[in-house]
Structure 1
Amino acid sequence: MNLVLTAEQQELRAAVRSFLGTASPLAKVRRDMDSEQGYDPEVYRRLTGELGLAGLVVPEDRGGAGAGHAELAVVLEETGAALLPGPFLATTFAAILLTELGDKELLPGVTAGTTIATVALDADRVLNGAEADVILVIDGGEVRAVRGGDRTPLTTLDPTRRQARAALDGGEVVGASEAAVARARDLFAVALAAEQLGVLRATLDAIVAYSKIRVTFGRPIGSYQGVKHKLADMHCRLEQAESIVRFAAWAADESAGELPAAAALAQAYVGRACFETARDSLLLHGGIGFTWEHDAHLYYKRAKSDEVLLGPTRVHRTRLADLLEL
């Protein structure tokens, strides 16, 4: 087991970070999230088509890159840190589910970025449901692909990621396998935890930088013991979260038997750690952190919406306890 990024994974991280830093900096994220579509289709097209990231874990014989979930985790950590708006996470979930089902019809379009797909985790709040060409509906071990139908955009806590209420009746069956669906759900948890790790890291970096320049009573706030202790606690959360995400991604690629517990642990710990870090970062920024002009509250909202995306923390803790027979 190796929980340290390889040279190739570090190069992938650098490439994605450089692309997002140029194509989707936070100032542009704000403009895009307020636009009619809520994201920049050109950035999404380049991310999925030019860089081929939508099909990262899709086998090569189905048009993908044939990489592992460890590589996907590296990418999602960067999209999370950048607060990338749009349907990339939703399409990633869809690609994971279709790959596990062995689909060959929808995957080429999803992989190429020409088909926007999402998974209906909640019928009342479908991630990027309004802009999706296809909504994958899980019904027990069966998965249906629903096109068209009524889509009602919803007001969301996180303005960088839209949701919609959708009619999910009908559709064509794309696969049926309880085992594949169960594994896909675990892989969703790992993927989301990777994004949460990126959000956590970005919020910590931001408040550390602010603590060095914000002066009160003639001293940088980072020199005060209370702030130092808070930053140390946040750093400890980051270190633990990174280890958990790296292990979960390794299990997804190399140890199927350990994946369920690793996925449950990832959501039981990382989701809460991400939110607590975003909360503490916002509070340490003081009044400026609450203003619309500051990015701290955007990270806070992404952290909270991610924390409950796959269900509240208690659900994952209960599942982890059951898996460990506690």
Structure 2
Amino acid sequence: MLGIISGIAATTVVILLLRCRRKDAVSRNVDLLPVVVPRRISYYELVQATIAYDESNLIGKGSFGSVYKGILADGTVVAVKVFTFLTEVTSRSFDAECQVLRNLRHRNLTKVIGSCSNLEFKALVLAYMPNGSLEKWLYSHNLCLDLLQRTSIMTDVASALEYLHFGYTTPVVHCDLKPSNTLLDENMVAHVSDFGIAKILDEENSAMHTQTLATLGYMAPEYGVEGQVSIRIDAYSFGILLMETFSRMKPSDEMFKDDLSLKSWIEESLPNATIQIIDANLLRQQDEHFNEKLQCVSMIFKLALSCCTECPQDRTNMKDVVAVLKKIRRHLATFSDNSRSN
């Protein structure tokens, strides 16, 4: 068993050191979905679907507006994202999200079913995610994700970013990756959502500038300070999200102040104090295969740190992240299989 762990560790080191920038196809063509043209849905159908936007159907609120659960006339359960307070900014957000999601097709991206738009009302109709957000699962007292589930979810998120960065005609930068934008379907498969401030890079330029900023704590330094956008800012956000998922500590937690951040806390704790930074719900010393599992989590934290280097060019790209996480996930799955057989 330790030989397998050593093999994963060696593979991880090679990937992190080489930072290979392969130009081959996205790893899993099976993850690509058929192209489906989103349909136009009338305002009145959405009123009926959400029971006039009744509070009982309210799923969540954000700076853009509100999301409601609805049932269309054909019985399809949907999430209706209503852009309220229609200003130039929210209209741009709606247009950006439509532009990005209209042409993307991947199993780990939120599926757009349709849209409704007029001068006074704008809404996106999305596939409903019955298990809510990763944020809900991380911080609810009555919910818990095990080690394999968290690794699978983060592999899903990484696969979505790999597709956005390397599998589309031109690179797409999400710009606002965080737990509340990671949604879970009925099978606990993760779907990256909320492309309201996403940017599509052109073929000539691998970076651009913007004045639209994302969520504090998840932003890469060059994005927060200079408004510089490239696929590397998504890698940084992913690294922070990966740390948060396995430590259950928000980057905005009150313990992080002055020179202490989530990133520096984890960096200073590796490798000797890994058990002190892991979510206590994940791993206990009496657990079967404790040392092997602890080493897997340590490798995950190291991978996360490699995504969050100060220099953008040194960050691990999402192709390599997916490769490492898949190997770790396969190894963790063998522990689950062994436990069931014993």
Q: TM-score, structure 1 length as denominator?
A: 0.27
Q: TM-score, structure 2 length as denominator?
A: 0.26
Structure with higher helix content: 1
Q: Which structure has the larger Rg?
A: 2
